[in-house]
Amino acid sequence: MGENEKDTTDEPKDEPPVDAPEETEPEPEAVVEAEAAAEAEEDADKPRWTKRALRWAAVAAVAAVVAVAGWEGWLLYQQHQTDVAAEQALDAATKYAVVLTSIDTNALDQNFTEVLDGSTGEFKDMYAKSSTQLRQLLVDNKATAHGVVIDAAVKSATKDKVEVLLFVDQSVSNLAVPDPRIDRSRIKMTMEKVDGRWLASQVELP
Closest CA to 194 of 129, 122, 131: 122
User: What is the per-residue pLDDT across 19-41, written as a single tens digit (0 to 9) for each?
Assistant: 544 554 544 555 445 555 555 55
Burial 37-57 (b: 16+ CB within 10 A, else e): eeeeeeeeeeeeeeeeeeeee
Q: With beta carbons less than 8 A apart as the criterion, state whether 100 and 123 touch.
A: no
> What pLDDT does 165 receive?
97
Exposure letters 108-121 (e unless 16+ CB within 10 A, then b): beebbebbeebbbe
pLDDT tens digits along 49-58: 666 666 776 6
- Cα 40 from chain centre: 54
Q: Is the pTM of this model over 0.75?
A: no
Per residue in 83-126, pLDDT (tens digit) is 999 999 999 999 999 999 999 988 999 999 999 999 999 999 99
User: Which stretches within the chain are classed as H helix?
Assistant: 29-100, 108-117, 121-141
Q: What is the pLDDT of residues 136-187, one digit of tens each?
A: 999 999 999 999 999 999 999 999 999 999 999 999 999 888 888 999 999 9
Q: For residues 75 and 158, what is the distance between their CA atoms, to the nearest angstrom? A: 13
- In whole angstroms, what separates CA 30 from the centre of its chain? 68
What pLDDT does residue 177 have?
A: 86
Instruction: Name the range with the highest mean pLDDT among 41-45, 174-178, 195-199.
Output: 195-199
Which residue would you say has higher pLDDT here, 199 or 79?
A: 199
Which contacts qualify for 103-109: CB closer than 8 Å, 24 or more apart? 103/138, 103/143, 103/144, 103/145, 104/144, 105/138, 105/139, 105/142, 105/143, 105/144, 108/135, 108/138, 108/139
